[in-house]
Amino acid sequence: MHITDIIRRSSRSLKSAKARTLLTALAIAVGTFALSLTLAASNGAQSFVDTIISENFDPAELIVAADESIASNASPSEPQEYDPSFGTSTSNAGATIQVKRITDDDIAKISALESVESVREGIQLNVQYITREGQKRYVGTVAGFSPAQNPETLAGELVKPPKNQTVLLPEAYLGPLGFESAEAAIGQKITIAVRKPFNVAALSPEVIAQLQTDPDAAAALAETNSITEEFTIAAVLKKPTTAQPGTELYLFVNNNDARRLYDFSTEGTPDFGKFLTVFVKIKNGNDSTVLIASQDELKTLGFYSVSVEETQAFLNQAIGILQAVVATFGAIAVVASIFGIINTMYISVLQRTREIGLMKALGMRKRDIGRLFRIEAAWIGLLGGIIGTGLSLLVGLFANPFISKSIDFDGDLLIFEPLQVGGLIVLLILVSILAGWLPSRKAARLDPIEALRTE
Amino acid sequence: MISVKNLTKVYGKKDSQFTALDSVSFTIPDGATVAIVGKSGSGKSTLMHIMSGLDRATRGTVEIDEKILTELSAKDMDRFRATKMSFIFQSFFVEPNQTAFQNVMLPLEIARLTRSNRRGRVLTALKAVELEDKADTKAANLSGGQKQRLAIARAIVNKPRLIFADEPTGNLDSTTGDKIIQLLFGINKTIGSTLIIVTHDDELAARCQYRIKLKDGKIESMATPKQMAKKQTQDKLPVKPNLKPRPATTAVRKVM
């Protein structure tokens, strides 16, 4: 029998048992649905990570620290000896980690390297408050603008790097600071206040005496012990959809301004001129071999560095592990449905014992009879695959706008690759054929005389 | 020419051996009508199964068209059956969910006929059994007689050299059965296929040119056209009255 005839006959026999076929296919569809969605979510998560990283980080930049322990954020396993030149960080569990920091001397050392183009501190400073004349005060974070960032603006022009004493204001601050619109804010001034640390030596003896007798006076002094600077709003940033999570309310200024404010807030403290990490831009750093070479160079100087690519790979690996777990459940569902196919095919063989006997009597080859049933199983696999992936596509269609909205992401988080979907269906067909193997063998080996016995 | 020599079939192992066929030999010319008669267990079904290659003989040979079937490989035997033989069964074995057309098409698909050649052949076969207007009707919706006519169409669509009919009228009432028999003999004349009918029905057997009567796996008697002509002049009446329809048969029909 020609293969086309076999395919037609097997599909016809499925049509005559619609409910059974559909139910078996649905069992496969469940696993397919899970696998298809897992693949789509994996694609989406990877694209999400990639977008965020490419929108916020320069691949030619290395994140450099003086201490490797900053990367792991793990609690120390044994007591660390106190060193005043070190800073402290907090582990994921909340424990104090003593971390060696990068100093201005280190920055000078790194900048002196042949391969280094520039170094920036990447400052994020929690300021005392942000305000505008006649408005309330708000807490906020001021950060140095990275040239790799590409935020969308609602109004104003984004100059890289921002000019001195200008600020990029997040959209969310417009209302609180009393602006009618984004356009109205451009060119207006806001005040940023930065708390200064106490310098006891600089205080007059009268003030010291007052502080000793009146505890409230200390609080009042601390409140007024700050500097304020005026910044002109250069641009209003649209609520970011691809920002590094948690940076949505950052006010960006240029690095010099950020550094100056940071120095104000740390002057006279052990934190002055010390940084947990700095961003080092490598000449021709887009070339990964150059980048790796300079990472080795930094290592010999005693610095620990992470490239954007490494960070990305680490994140993707984490996503991959999650996906693997979900995919395993999907695969288990598919494996379970194999038994459904085997069962269905056995029933089909039993129901069609006479037909098989007749076909054999009429000279149909064993091989062709086997094929007839394997193709019937393949049809079920195809149907289940189409139903499963179809449902997952449908879910993607409805869930994508919803998910994107809830996480403020400008893209889809469920991305279906035609090649993957097709591959999945082909895989299911193969699995089904495999499941149909035993029943089809039973059919092929059927004795026509027994099959055609009338009793 | 069909030549059966020393055909023996033994079932079971040493202690529980049962000889279904015991040194059966006969020769039939092409285009003849043959009845194989005998009681249940006489070996007539076994003979048919071995002659059609569905079963293997323990000893002996079957030769059809100068081919020794008993020596063919499984593949060649399938090929031989697909192109040279066909079957008609008591219970019709038509596929109820398929149309008459699709049912008749099956042997052509098995014989790997090209698609362009099929349609005409199927329609011709359906016309021969007067079912051309039922081509697109599902077999389930046909009457018993129509089903058997459909089975005959399926049996002749391949223009086989040999048609095996196993109790072809067993599930039909006498009027319908008569029509089927007339149809079978008509086909035997028009396309010249050898017709081998396995039956209990003496009336049907009497109409065949050759009659092989089996008893306990041996040929009890074999009548050739010459002998029969002689016998018919001796006693002109049929041997037994027509007993149909039989109660057992009606029961089977209800199930179908």
Confidence of residue A72 (pLDDT cuts 50, 70, 90): low
Contact flag B78-A365 (C-beta cutoff 8 Å): yes
Chain B residues with at least one Cβ partner in A under 8 Å:
49, 52, 54-55, 74-75, 77-83, 85-87, 89-91, 93, 95, 97-98, 102, 106-107, 109-112, 252
ipTM for the assembly: 0.85
- Which among A5, A368, A454 is the nearest to B90, CB-wise? A454
Eight-state DSSP code of residue A292: H
Identify the pLDDT of residue B247. 47
Q: Looking at residue A333, what is its pLDDT?
A: 86
Do the Cβ atoms of B25 and B4 come closer than 8 Å? yes
A407: its two tokens? 């996480």
Domain assignment of residue A394, yes or no: yes
Please indicate whether, in this complex, the C-beta atoms of A362 and B52 are within 8 angstroms of each other.
Answer: no
Q: How many Å apart are CA A98 and CA A82, to the nearest integer?
A: 8
Measured over all CA atoms, what is the biggest interatomic distance in chain A, rounded to whole angstroms? 119
- pLDDT given for residue A274 in this prediction: 87
A92 and A74 in contact (C-beta within 8 Å)? yes
pLDDT at A444 over 90: yes
The pLDDT, as a whole number, for residue B254 is: 40
Residues of A in Cβ contact (< 8 Å) with B87? 358, 361-362
Sign of the Cα torsion B83, B88, B93, B99 reads positive
Q: Tell me: do A257 and A123 sit in the same domain.
A: yes
Residues A185-207 have pLDDT tens digits of: 899 999 999 988 877 777 778 77
Asked if pLDDT for residue B252 goes beyond 50, the answer is: no
Whole-number pLDDT of residue B155: 93
Closest CA relative to residue A111, chosen from A257, A283, A306, A245: A283
Instruction: Kindly write down the DSSP assignment for every residue of B58-110, as one continuous string.
Output: SEEEEEETTEEGGGS-HHHHHHHHHHHEEEEETT----TTSBHHHHHHHHHHH
Q: Are strands A124-131 and A138-144 parallel, antiparallel or unpaired?
A: antiparallel
Size of interface A-B (CB pairs under 8 A): 62
In this structure, are residues B62 and B69 in contact, taking their beta carbons and an 8 Å threshold?
A: yes
3-class SS of residue A116: strand
| Pair of tokens at residue A183 | 């356009």
Of A283, A306, A329, which residue sits at a domain end? A283
Given a cut of 50, whether residue B245 has pLDDT beyond it is: no
* CB-CB under 8 Å, B97 with A362: no
Q: Is the pLDDT of residue A41 over 70?
A: yes
Pairing of strands A166-170, A153-156: unpaired
Contact A452 B106 (CB under 8 A): no
- Which pLDDT score, from 0 to 100, does residue A49 have? 83
Nearest to A354 among B80, B93, B97 (CB): B93
pLDDT score of A242: 62
Per-residue pLDDT averaged across A63-77, rounded?
76
Q: Based on the domain organization, do A169 and A276 belong to the same domain?
A: yes
Lowest mean pLDDT among A116-130, A238-252, A256-270: A238-252
Q: Is the pLDDT of residue B168 over 70?
A: yes
* Packing angle, helices A437-445 and A366-406, rounded to 10: 160
In a domain, A83, yes or no: no
Q: Closest Cα of chain B to A367: distance in Å?
A: 10
Q: How many CB atoms lie within 10 A of CB A46?
A: 17
Distance of alpha carbon A411 from alpha carbon A405, whole angstroms = 10
Residues A205 and A334 in one domain: no
| A364: nearest CA partner in chain B | B110
Contacts of A13 in chain B (CB under 8 A): 97
Tell me which of A369-373, B31-35, B238-242 is least confident. B238-242
Asked, for residue A334, whether it belongs to a domain, the answer is yes
Torsion of CA A246, A252, A257, A258, to 10 degrees: 10
Residue B59, min C-alpha distance to chain A (Å): 19
Distance, in angstroms, between B221 CA and closest chain A CA?
26
Average pLDDT over residues A415-442: 93
Same domain, A152 and A266: yes
CA gap B225, A427 in Å, rounded: 64
Which range is least confidently modeled, A214-223, A338-347, B157-166, B237-246?
B237-246
A160/A120 Cα distance (integer angstroms): 14
- What pLDDT sits at residue A36? 92
A246 shares a domain with A139: yes
Domain regions of chain B by residue span:
2-255
Q: How far apart are CA A335 and CA A332, in angstroms?
A: 5
Q: Which two tokens stand for residue A267?
A: 């002057």
pLDDT of residue A243: 60
Helix or strand holding residue B49 (H, E): helix B44-51
Residues of B in contact with A1 (CB under 8 A): 109-110, 112
pLDDT at B196: 95
- For residue B155, the chain A residue with the least C-alpha distance is A362
pLDDT (mean) for A37-51:
86
Residue of chain A whose Cα is closest to the Cα of B90: A454
When CB atoms are compared, the residue of B82, B90, B95 closest to A363 is B82
Rg (CA), chain A: 34
Percent of chain A with pLDDT over 70: 97
pLDDT above 90: residue A438: yes
Instruction: Write the residue in A5, A361, A365 that is nearest to B54 by C-beta.
Output: A361
Interface contact flag, B82 A452, Cβ < 8 Å: no
Q: Which two tokens stand for residue A61?
A: 């930049």
Please name the member of A12, A354, A359 whose beta carbon is closest to the beta carbon of B110. A359
Beta strands A138-144; A250-253: pairing state: parallel
Q: Which of B49, B87, B103, B109 to mutate to test the interface with A (most CBs of A within 10 A)?
A: B109
Q: How many CB atoms lie within 10 A of CB A82?
A: 8
Q: Is the separation of the CB atoms in B60 and B24 below 8 Å?
A: yes
Res. B197: pLDDT tops 70: yes
Tens digits of residue pLDDT in A267-307: 878 888 888 888 998 888 888 888 888 888 888 888 888 88
pLDDT above 50 for B203:
yes
User: How many Å lie between the alpha carbon of B132 and the closest alpha carbon of chain A?
Assistant: 22
The number of folded domains in chain A is 2
Which of B33, B26, B23 has its CA nearest to residue B228? B33
Q: A21 and A113: one domain?
A: no
Cross-strand pairs, A170: A237
Q: What is the dihedral of CA A366, A372, A378, A383, to 10 degrees?
A: -170
Q: What percent of chain A has pLDDT over 90?
A: 30
A294 in a structural domain = no
- Closest-CA residue of B relative to A351 is B95
Q: Which of these, B241, B160, B221, lies nearest to B194 by C-alpha position?
A: B160
pLDDT grade for A80, boundaries at 50, 70 and 90: confident
For B222-227, what is the mean pLDDT? 80
Determine the pLDDT at residue B152: 92
Residue B225 near residue B210, CB atoms below 8 Å: yes
Q: Which of B107, B112, B252 sits opposite A2 (nearest CB)?
A: B112
Same domain, A141 and A194: yes
Which residues in B lie closer than 8 A to residue A2 (C-beta atoms)? 109, 112
Q: Which residues of A touch B82 (CB under 8 A)?
A: 362-364
- Least reliable range by pLDDT among A135-144, A174-183, A324-333: A324-333
A100, pLDDT greater than 80: yes
Average pLDDT of chain B is 86
Burial class (CB in 10 A: 0-12, 13-18, 19+), A166: buried
Neighbours of A350 (CB within 10 A): 12
Say if residue B238's pLDDT is above 60: no
In this complex, the residue of B74, B81, B97 whose CB is nearest that of residue A16 is B97
| Closest residue in chain B to residue A368, using alpha carbons only | B110
From chain A, pick out residues whose CB is under 8 angstroms from the CB of B55: 449
| Structural domain contains residue A405 | yes
Q: What is the CA radius of gyration of chain B?
A: 18
Most confident region among A245-249, A417-421, B63-67 by mean pLDDT = A417-421
Q: Based on the domain organization, do A255 and A386 belong to the same domain?
A: no
The domain containing residue A324 runs over which residues?
3-52+314-451
Indicate whether B14 pLDDT > 90. no
- Look at residue A140 and tell me if it is in a domain: yes
Helix A418-435 × helix A308-351 angle, to 10°: 40
**Residue A95 domain-assigned (yes or no):** no
* C-alpha distance from residue A299 to each of A64, A107, A294, A304, A382 (Å): 10, 14, 8, 6, 55
- Cβ distance of B82 and A2 shorter than 8 Å: no
* B118 alpha carbon, distance to own chain's centre: 23
> Is residue A293, in this structure, part of any structural domain at all?
no
Q: Rounded to an integer, what distance in angstroms lies between the CA atom of residue A45 and that of residue B214?
A: 80
Q: CA of A12 to nearest chain B CA: how many angstroms apart? A: 8
CATH 3.40.50.300 is the classification of domain B2-255: yes
Residue A73: which pLDDT band, with cuts at 50, 70 and 90? low
